[in-house]
Each structure stands twice: as structure tokens, then as C-alpha cells.
Structure 1
Amino acid sequence: MSNNSNNGSNSTLLVQMTKEELIRDFEQVVRKVVNQMQVEQQALKNEKLTYTRDETAEILNVSLTTLHNWNKQGVFKPSAKVGKKVYYSKNDIQAKLKIN
């Protein structure tokens, strides 16, 4: 009785390669994985949780005056204030975008 199966589920493919070829292929795979990890890490760093008045006005496509008026009217308020600077949360901005 033979253990060889032609259905593909237990097929084994043997490839001959030199040690140098194996190392080269392995290094290429590792390089790709590291590059992908770096791209993902950079994307996480670039993802902000708060935005300045200028950034928020640009994202919402409104003037700073409109943003100021919304704040005074209680329509759209900043989520944080540090000294004289105000910051809007990413979630608040996204919610405002959905409303408009």
C-alpha cells in the first residue's frame, strides 16, 4: 500500500537549492514582512486622535469663523483646550461630517 496521494492534500514538492539561494529567498521574505510592518507602524503614528482648529476647519471645509461661531452656539465644541489652543476629537469631526 502506498502513502502517495494524487488528490493534492498530501502532496510533497521537493526543490533543490543551494544554501545561498535559500538564504537569499529567506531574506527577501523577511524584508517584505519588515517593510509591511514599518508601513503599518507609520500609518498608526500618522493617525491622529485630535486636530487643531486649522486642521478641523480644513477637514470640515469651513472657515475658522464658522468653527468659532459653532463653538459659541454650542453646535460643535472643541474636545480639549490646552492654554489658548483648542483641539477637536477625531470622533467628533467624523460625526460632524456625517451630519453635513
Structure 2
Amino acid sequence: MSNNSTNNNSDNRPLFQLTKEELMQDFEQIVRKVVNQMQVEQVSKDEKEFYTRKETSEHLNVSYSTLHNWNKSGVLTPFKMGAKVYYSKSDVSARLNP
């Protein structure tokens, strides 16, 4: 039983230490990312400044693999927010009206 209590104590040790300022900076960065993602998702489709991969492929009537090829060749420039990929409305519009 003493082994379990020793293991429990070692499990509660911090893996690393942060100053209060570092912790606050990390927290603020996470909150900013979440707020930005919520803003992107809440804007109506017509007012959006950025489109998801699905929306972009639907607007341009192309497959995901075509989008991927265009990304690699520089036809479109995607950006990531978290795990999601977005394209700017202006880039998509420019591709629609070359």
C-alpha cells in the first residue's frame, strides 16, 4: 500500500513551472483563438470573409483534391485556424472571376 501512496504523490508533481504572467499569456492566447474561431463560424455565409474547404469547393465546383493541388501550386492560399483550413473570400472570388 505504501507504493500506491508514493505513486500518487509523484503523479501530483508539476511537470513544469510557469510564472503567473506566462500562464496568463497562454490563457489569453487560447481565449483569442476560441473567440476568433467562434466569430468565423457565426458570420452568415454571405457576410463571411473566409470560407471552409467545403464551402470553397462548393463555390468553385471543384473537388478537395483540386483544392489541394491549387494550394501546392499557389492558385489559392489557405490558412489554418486550429485544425480547420480556410480560404479568403477575395481569393475565392478572384478564382470565380479570373
Q: TM-score, normalised by structure 1?
A: 0.50
**Map 1:62-81 → 2, pairs under 5 A:** 62-78=62-78, 80-81=79-80
Gaps of 5+ in 2: 1-42
Query: How far apart, in 2, do the equivalents of 1:49 and 1:75 lie?
Result: 18
Partner-residue secondary structure (3-state), 2:97: helix
Match of 1:61 in 2: 61
Greater C-alpha Rg: 1
Structure with greater contact order relative to length (CA < 8 Å, sep ≥ 6):
2
Q: TM-score, normalised by structure 2?
A: 0.51
1:28-61: CA deviations, max 9, x gaps?
A: xxxxxxxxxxxxxxxxx52111110010000000
1:61-96: CA deviations, max 9, x gaps?
A: 000100011001112111x21122110111111111
Q: Which has the higher helix share?
A: 2
Match of 2:93 in 1: 94
Query: How far apart, in 2, do the equivalents of 1:87 and 1:95 lie?
Result: 15
Query: How far apart, in 1, do the equivalents of 2:83 and 2:71 lie?
Result: 14
Which consecutive segments of 4 or more residues in structure 1 shift more than 2 A? none
Gaps of 5+ in 1: 1-44
Alpha-carbon contact 2:76-2:87 (below 8 Å) kept: no
Supply the RMSD in Å over aligned alpha carbons. Answer: 1.2
* % identical equivalent positions: 61
